[in-house]
Chains A and B, each alone.
Chain A
Amino acid sequence: MGDVKVAMIVQKPQYKGETSRLAITHAISYQTVEILLEDGETVTPKLCFIGEGVLGLQKGQNAMELYGITSTESHMKNTLLVDLDVLVCKEDLDKYGIPEDAMPNADEMGADKTIQVVPFAEIQKAIEEANHVMFF
């Protein structure tokens, strides 16, 4: 199979369990998977945040200063720099009162991609179109 689509769905907040962070780093690793695949084979993740998973995405995180670890904000910038599609559920942002402009971007680093705030229906579509789905 040439391209394999994977929907990675983050439903837990960051900064307690490790799973939601590992979703991001696993998604980023799509960039180097080709060294283990045949020519023409690719893996294309879509990284989606739903439910409480949207809580850990806001700008202004201080993880490095306070706990000495890379922030989720920084990881999210990296996802955009490596051209990952990142979908964040609009209904859940609204539910928790988080404005769309609180989402990080990597404009200053020259990223072409931005986080896409979309209705859950778009995330459902990503799940349907994927060959495999993973919940984190």
Chain B
Amino acid sequence: MGKLAIGCFPGLVGNMTFDFAMKLADAAADKGHSVSIWFSGNATGSVKAHQKHLKDYSTGEKPLLALIAKGVEICTCEACTVARGVQKPESIEGVQWNAMHWYLARVHAADRVLLIGGE
């Protein structure tokens, strides 16, 4: 099976592109592909734990936990995340924190790359 490296920049709330990335990752993982997701920009806000799922808004925590349970590797850009006031102890368990070179390293190993730029 292949390796897919998704880069996701759009924010969780106010944009459904994040939902697309989650569903694509889920479908790829279900088919047996190895999937890694890199969050940068506004997408990093999605790694904060204890999100309340209001029905007017997409939720990040539930799909992220489900993906992590399936073996999907998820990493958030540390600089982008702390810039949004989210500290490491507050983040969803299993999410990695690293710098932009983490994504380039996953891109190096990937068969396919999809970079979803932000707003």
Q: Do chains A and B touch in the complex (CB under 8 A)?
A: yes
Shortest Cβ distance from A6 into B: residue? B107
Question: Which residues between 70 and 105 of chain B lie within 8 Å of chain A, taking CB atoms?
Answer: 99-105
Contacting pair A41 B108 (CB below 8 A):
yes
In this complex, which of A12, A26, A37, A136 has the most chain B Cβ atoms within 10 angstroms of its Cβ? A26
Residue B41 interfacial (CB < 8 Å) = yes
* Interface secondary structure of A, over-half rule: mixed
CB distance from B111 to the nearest CB of A (A): 10
Q: Answer whether residue A102 sits at the interface, using C-beta atoms and an 8 A cutoff.
A: no
CB within 8 Å of B: which of A66-110? Answer: none
Contact: B41 with A18, CB < 8 Å?
yes
Cα A126 to Cα B116 in complex, Å, equals: 20
With beta carbons under 8 angstroms apart, the residue of B42, B100, B115 that contacts A29 is B100
Q: Bound complex: CA of A29 vs CA of B40, how far in Å?
A: 13
Q: Are B101 and A25 in contact (CB under 8 A)?
A: no
A33-B105, A41-B108, A136-B115 known; A19+B9 contact, CB < 8 A:
yes
Is B104 in contact with A132, judged by CB distance below 8 angstroms? no
B7 at the interface (CB under 8 A from A): yes
B101 near A17: Cβ-Cβ < 8 Å: no
Report which of A22, A28, A30, A43 forms a contact with B41, defined as CB distance below 8 A.
Answer: A22
Contact A26 B40 (CB under 8 A): yes
Given contacts A22-B40, A132-B113, contact A32 B99 (CB under 8 A): yes
Q: How far is the CB of B10 from chain A (nearest CB, A)?
A: 9
Within the complex, the shortest CB–CB distance from A26 to chain B, in Å, comes to 5
A63: chain B residues within 8 A (beta carbon)? none
A-B contact pairs, 21 of them (CB 8 A): A6-B107, A17-B118, A17-B119, A18-B9, A19-B9, A19-B41, A19-B117, A19-B118, A22-B41, A22-B118, A26-B100, A29-B99, A29-B100, A29-B103, A32-B99, A33-B108, A37-B105, A43-B107, A45-B104, A134-B117, A135-B117
